[in-house]
Amino acid sequence: MKIIVDENNPYAEQAFSTLGEVTALPAGKITREALRDCEILACRSTIRVNADLLEGTAVRCVATATIGTDHFDTAYLDRAGILWYSAPGCNADSVADYFTAALLSVAQTQRATLEDKTLAVVGCGNVGSRVACRAQALGMRVLENDPPLARQTGDPRYRPLDELFDADCITLHTPLTREGPDPTHHLVNEAFLRRMRPGAVLINTSRGAVVDGGSLKAALHDGRIAGAVLDVWEGEPSPDPELAELAFLATPHVAGHSFDGKIAGTMQIYRQVCEYLGRKPTFDPEPLLPAPGVPEIVVDAAGRPDEDMIREVVFRVYPIHDDDARFREAMALPDAAARAAGFSALRTNYPRRREFSWTRVLARNAPPALLEKLRGLTFEAEHGRGESARKETSHEG
């Protein structure tokens, strides 16, 4: 059995080698010709999976190690009898880490604190639910909106969209849909933006076209909202450089690109393909995992506001402004083709980022409430015990 995997899926070659003959290729070389006698394709969202790619090939199963499937022509795959899989939730903690860093950065820029501010979460699935928990850990009031979940569960915590517009920040975590009862294409349009509270911030880590970029650009120009954090863009890999320049933070669709999220995606689709083949999964990535870049942080909380200390910890583990700076450099390139190539290169060559849960925080003089906040952000947190504690724990993680 021949299998082709995107080389940007960590450990995919090792995992799928337990099932057949594997070739790992960069996304740009996964073509119809390359797939001619291939039965299984394990890809990412950088590949359009449709008739143009698969017609005349031996492919009978396609799996994407990503949450979204809008790069799949699912109608064609179903008609052709090609099974398809995705990895919902695989990078939810990665996106939640990104959101946490972005939110803390916005508060710093505005010289504000997050305590008692209101966050509105639009889309409360795997990612949105984790984002809500992170915001609550930071002392924010959270409003949740998810019409499908509201219908399915009847839970009154899911509020109508009309009740969200007084929030200090609105964050988007929906799929991109154009049909059905809850279309999200250009959900955020001129009317939506006009209803947002002046001084509010919009965060989008879902899909670029959930936001009408032209309307957002006008709202930012006019100062109708305070700012935006944008990780996803209409027309990727060719974002609007003017919109990027206006954003508080602008990044190249990397919120979910943690190393751990990618591994989780690989393992999720590997297990699905094993089930399709009637095989038992035998690959375990655990022995191959590298040590985290920041296994431990020691801080002194004495006399410091909780949020300042949390911000220091978060930025040491994930310096989100580095992603922003690299992206702005790419957007400053002289022509559209160069900018598109730069956008794609930033995603393909993204630095290895580990999730917060791999870092232990030893906080001297920390009140219990601060430790609980750090744990709510998924850090392992405990009272610092001085130099001996650093020596005892520095090898772990």
From first CA to last CA, the distance across the chain in angstroms is 38
Polymer length of the chain? 397
What's the topology of domain 296-393? Ribosomal Protein S8; Chain: A, domain 1 (3.30.1370)
Is residue 39 within 8 Å of 81, Cβ to Cβ?
A: no
CATH of domain 92-250: 3.40.50.720
Residue tagged active-site, from 207, 224, 353, 354: 207
Write b or e for each residue in 77-91: b if 16 or more Cβ atoms lie within 10 A of its Cβ, otherwise e.
Answer: beeeebebbbbbbbb
Residue tagged active-site, from 144, 236, 307, 355: 236
Residue tagged active-site, from 253, 257, 354, 360: 253
Q: How far is CA 368 from CA 156, 308, 364, in A?
A: 32, 16, 11
Backbone φ, ψ for residue 126 (5° rounding): -55, -45
Q: Give the CATH superfamily of 2-86+258-288.
A: NAD(P)-binding Rossmann-like Domain (3.40.50.720)
3-state secondary structure of 24: strand
Q: Is 236 a catalytic residue?
A: yes
pLDDT truncated to tens, each residue of the chain (397 aa)? 999 999 999 999 999 999 999 999 999 999 999 999 999 999 999 999 999 999 999 999 999 999 989 999 999 999 999 999 999 999 999 999 999 999 999 999 999 999 999 999 999 999 999 999 999 999 999 999 999 999 999 999 999 999 999 999 999 999 999 999 999 999 999 999 999 999 999 999 999 999 999 999 999 999 999 999 999 999 999 999 999 999 999 999 999 999 999 999 999 999 999 999 999 999 999 999 999 999 999 999 999 999 999 999 999 999 999 999 999 999 999 999 999 999 999 999 999 999 999 999 999 999 999 999 999 999 999 998 644 333 333 333 3
**Matching CATH topology for 2-86+258-288 and 92-250?**
yes
Q: Is 190 a catalytic residue?
A: no
Domains of the chain by residue range: 2-86+258-288, 92-250, 296-393
Q: Cα(68)–Cα(174) distance, rounded to whole angstroms?
A: 10
Q: Is 352 a catalytic residue?
A: no
Q: How far is CA 323 from CA 34, 44, 250, 330, in A?
A: 33, 20, 8, 11
